[in-house]
Every structure is written in structure tokens, then in C-alpha cells.
């Protein structure tokens, strides 16, 4: 998908060479990978929720400015390889995204190194790709003087090409991070057109925005049981008509998604529609259904059908 407005990043000419390359953003779930990619790209290419394992696919977010282009691959959070096929798909997708990229970004939280972070670092080591460590959520650190010892401690975990503290949510350190990453990329022509912000279609982004509402509204009850399929997507003058199915695994889950008298479904639909209108800059007419497909998240054939393909 491209977006003219969002590529208003054409800054002042730097006078230096134009650099371009691919950067895989990896880390354990919930550390802020998608927030980081959205912040640098300046466009909501990837959905965000406070629930772990929100991102399920590799999603490119492209940042183009006068001095260079960074093609980020946002990835699912690497986690203990679950029992379900969807967990294996997500881990495979995250590790696979490291293959052939110019650079990796390992995102961790300023709260400190956790065992799960080690899993992500191991994947980076295995891919033998240079890595920048990003320490995110520094806004949560009250005593900023504790940041220097933390940077020193984490710098010892691997020979990182750079260590950059940021708050992706507040935009703190994001410009510095972009500069650090670009400096590590080769002199090269842009890989994508300057108005392109993602490799994903509007249709995909629309499905993700519905899933974002599901994660935000029902993440505590149904964190991983839902997926979204777009059945109809058509322009009708200035209006975009979207028909979508929310798939769950059991009747009880369907009752939760629909809510009393359809109230939950209305809230989800309203939130998703508004987010779509903002992102796609068009009026949207969204119709939602909820259907049961038993055990879809542990069934390879169903996963493929719902777009979880390598
Ligand atoms: N305080 C604070 N919260 C943040 C920051 N960055 C992200 N968050 C929050 O952390 C949560 C997870 O953010 P995501 O961007 O979805 O994290 P992710 O690593 O992509 O998560 P997965 O999809 O689970 O892999 C959300 O509630 C974000 O709003 C930050 O800089 N500061």
C-alpha cells in the first residue's frame, strides 16, 4: 500500500549518500516492536495492543526520507514454541524474517533483560546478521541515571553494532534510532517507491484493524482464538464497503464476541470502522459476522486458508 501523505518525510537534503536496506525488528512479545516501526514510518502499518502476540505476520514498514530508505520487517514476538500450529507459524515467521536482511533490531524493555530476550538474541546469532539493540519504554524509568548502567549491562550480551534507548510510544529517541540504522545500511538506491509505506494491501490492513479491536476489547478473554477474514471489499463511490468474518473456535467464544444483544460486536465494529476511516482516509461501511471454525489455530490447512502462509 502506498500513501502520499504519509511520505511527507522528504526532509532537507542531507548532502550525504543515499542509503537503503532491510531491517528485521525482532524481540519477545509485547516489547513495542510494532509501535517502533509505526513511529519511524509515520504510519500505522502494524497493529498494537497491550496483549502479547498481537502481531502474527511479517509486515513491511517503509520509511523514506531524503537521506535514505529503511525497509523494516515487523515480526511476531518470539516465544516458547507453543503447542499450537499458530504459535509455530509465528515463531517461524519471526526467525524467517531475519534471513537475508541487512540488519536486525533486537527490541527489549528498559525494565531489564528477561529470559525470553535471550531466545530472540539466539535467533539473531543464528542468522549471523549485524544487530542494533533498542531499549524501549524508557519513559517508564523514573530514575534516568539507572539507564547508563543498564546500557552497559545489556551491551555485554552481544557485540551490538549500536545500543539505542527510546520510547517508541512517545517518539523519544526515534529520530536518533533512524539515523543510527541508516548509517549501518549500504549506499544503495531505494528498494521501494518513495510513496510506499507497506507491502500489505488495504484489505489486509482492514482485517488487522478488526483484529486490533478484538485484541484490545477481548484480549483478556480470547487472546488467541480469533482471526479475521475479509469476504467483501469494494469501492462504492467515496464509500468503502467491507464485509468481514470474525472466526472463533467455540460457540462460547462466539457469545463473548457478540456480547449481550450484540453490544460487544457493535463496539468492535465501531472501533474498527473509525480506525479504517482514519487510516484509509475514506468513509467505510463495515459489516461483521462471527462464525465458529473449531480448532482453526491448530490446523495447518485452516491457517493457510486464513492467510497464515509462509
Ligand atoms: N510505556 C510505553 N509503552 C509502550 C512503548 N512502546 C510500546 N508500548 C506499549 O507496549 C504494548 C505492546 O506494544 P506493541 O508495539 O504491540 O509490541 P510488540 O512487540 O509489537 O508486541 P507483539 O505483537 O506481542 O510481538 C502496547 O500497549 C504499547 O502501547 C513505550 O515506549 N512506552
pLDDT value at residue 222: 81
pLDDT category, 14, cuts 50, 70, 90? low
Q: Separation of 35 CA from ligand 1 center, angstroms?
A: 6
Q: Is 286 in the pocket of ligand 1 (CB under 6 A)?
A: no
Q: Separation of 53 CA from ligand 1 center, angstroms?
A: 10
Task: Examine the pLDDT at 181 and tell me if it is beyond 90.
Answer: yes
Q: Separation of 174 CA from ligand 1 center, angstroms?
A: 14
pLDDT value at residue 245: 98
**Residue 180, number of CB atoms within 10 A of its CB:** 17
Cell of 69: 530508505
Q: Is 50 in the pocket of ligand 1 (CB under 6 A)?
A: yes
Task: Examine the pLDDT at 304 and tell me if it is beyond 50.
Answer: yes
Task: Examine the pLDDT at 223 and tell me if it is beyond 80.
Answer: no
* Cα within 13 Å of Cα(271), Cβ side: 18
Tens-digit pLDDT profile for residues 31-79:
999 999 999 999 999 999 998 989 999 999 999 999 999 999 999 999 9
Question: Class of the 5-183 domain?
Answer: alpha beta
Pocket test for ligand 1, best of 36, 48, 93, 165 (most atoms within 8 A of CB): 48
Q: Separation of 260 CA from ligand 1 center, angstroms?
A: 30
Task: Examine the pLDDT at 5 and tell me if it is beyond 80.
Answer: no
Task: Examine the pLDDT at 4 and tell me if it is beyond 50.
Answer: no
Q: Is 55 in the pocket of ligand 1 (CB under 6 A)?
A: yes
The helix (run of H) or strand (run of E) holding residue 149 is: helix 147-155
Q: Separation of 123 CA from ligand 1 center, angstroms?
A: 21
- Alpha helical stretches, state H, 7-114: 33-41, 85-96
Tens-digit pLDDT profile for residues 81-94:
777 999 999 999 99
User: Which residues are within 8 A (CB) of 13 and not within 5 positions of it... i.e. 6 or more apart?
Assistant: 66, 67
Task: Look up cell 488495504; give the residue.
Answer: 202
Residue 295: name the closest of 247, 255, 258 by CA: 247
Residue 182: name the closest of 32, 1, 9 by CA: 9
pLDDT value at residue 12: 40
Least confident of 208-212, 218-222, 241-245: 218-222
The helix (run of H) or strand (run of E) holding residue 145 is: none
Q: Is 54 in the pocket of ligand 1 (CB under 6 A)?
A: yes
Q: Is 9 in the pocket of ligand 1 (CB under 6 A)?
A: no
| Beta partners for residue 135, in sequence order | 108, 165
- Cα 88 to Cα 111, 118, 129: the distances in Å are 27, 18, 22
Identical fold, 5-183 and 202-305: no
What phi, psi does 84 have (nearest 5°)? -90, 150
Reported ipTM = 0.99
Q: Is 91 annotated as a binding residue?
A: no
> Which residue's C-alpha comes closest to atom 12 of ligand 1?
30
Q: Is 33 annotated as a binding residue?
A: yes
The CATH number fitting domain 202-305, selected from 3.30.300.20, 3.40.50.150, 3.40.50.2300, 3.10.580.10: 3.30.300.20
Q: Is 38 in the pocket of ligand 1 (CB under 6 A)?
A: no
**Residue 235, number of CB atoms within 10 A of its CB:** 9
pLDDT value at residue 224: 79
Q: Separation of 78 CA from ligand 1 center, angstroms?
A: 14
Task: Look up cell 485484541; give the residue.
Answer: 215
The ranges assigned to domains in the chain are 5-183, 202-305
Q: Is 137 in the pocket of ligand 1 (CB under 6 A)?
A: yes
pTM of the model: 0.93
Q: Separation of 284 CA from ligand 1 center, angstroms?
A: 27
Share of the chain above pLDDT 90, in %: 87
pLDDT value at residue 16: 85
pLDDT category, 120, cuts 50, 70, 90? very high
User: Which residues are within 8 A (CB) of 151 and not within 5 positions of it... i.e. 6 or more apart?
Assistant: 135, 163, 165
pLDDT value at residue 15: 73
Query: Are the beta carbons of 54 and 214 closer than 8 angstroms?
Result: no
> How high does pLDDT run on average in the chain?
93
Task: Examine the pLDDT at 6 and tell me if it is beyond 50.
Answer: no
pLDDT value at residue 1: 66
Query: Are the beta carbons of 93 and 58 closer than 8 angstroms?
Result: yes
Q: Is 240 annotated as a binding residue?
A: no
Amino acid at each position: 500500500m502506498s500513501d502520499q501523505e504519509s511520505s511527507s518525510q522528504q526532509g532537507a537534503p542531507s548532502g550525504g549518500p543515499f542509503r537503503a536496506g532491510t531491517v528485521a525488528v525482532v524481540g519477545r512479545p509485547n516489547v513495542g516492536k510494532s509501535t517502533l516501526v509505526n513511529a519511524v514510518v509515520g504510519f500505522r502499518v502494524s497493529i498494537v495492543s497491550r496483549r502479547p502476540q498481537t502481531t502474527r505476520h511479517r509486515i513491511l514498514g517503509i520509511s523514506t526520507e531524503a537521506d535514505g530508505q529503511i525497509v523494516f520487517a515487523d515480526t511476531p514476538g518470539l516465544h516458547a514454541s507453543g503447542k499450537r500450529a499458530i504459535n509455530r507459524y509465528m515463531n517461524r515467521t519471526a526467525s524467517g524474517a531475519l534471513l537475508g536482511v541487512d540488519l536486525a533490531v533486537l527490541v527489549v524493555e528498559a525494565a531489564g533483560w528477561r529470559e525470553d530476550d535471550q531466545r530472540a538474541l539466539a535467533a539473531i546469532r543464528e542468522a549471523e546478521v549485524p544487530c542494533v539493540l533498542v531499549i524501549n519504554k524508557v519513559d517508564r524509568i523514573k530514575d534516568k541515571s539507572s539507564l547508563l548502567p543498564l546500557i552497559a549491562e545489556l551491551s555485554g550480551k552481544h557485540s551490538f553494532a549500536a545500543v539505542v534507548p527510546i520510547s517508541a510510544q512517545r517518539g523519544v529517541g526515534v529520530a536518533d534510532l533512524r539515523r543510527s540504522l541508516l548509517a549501518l545500511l549500504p549506499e544503495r538506491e531505494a528498494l521501494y517507491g518513495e510513496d510506499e509505506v507497506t507491502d500489505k494491501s488495504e484489505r489486509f490492513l482492514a482485517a488487522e484493524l478488526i483484529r486490533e479491536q478484538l485484541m484490545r476489547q477481548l484480549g483478556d478473554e480470547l487472546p488467541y482464538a480469533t482471526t479475521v477474514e475479509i469476504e467483501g471489499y469494494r469501492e462504492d463511490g467515496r464509500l468503502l464497503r467491507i464485509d468481514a468474518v470474525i472466526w472463533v473456535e467455540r460457540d462460547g467464544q462466539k457469545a463473548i464476541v457478540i456480547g449481550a444483544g450484540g453490544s460487544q460486536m457493535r463496539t468492535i465494529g465501531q472501533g474498527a470502522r473509525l480506525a479504517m476511516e482514519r487510516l484509509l482516509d475514506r468513509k467505510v461501511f463495515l459489516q461483521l459476522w462471527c462464525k465458529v471454525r473449531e480448532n482453526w489455530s491448530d490446523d495447518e490447512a485452516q491457517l493457510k486458508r486464513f492467510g497464515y502462509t509462509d
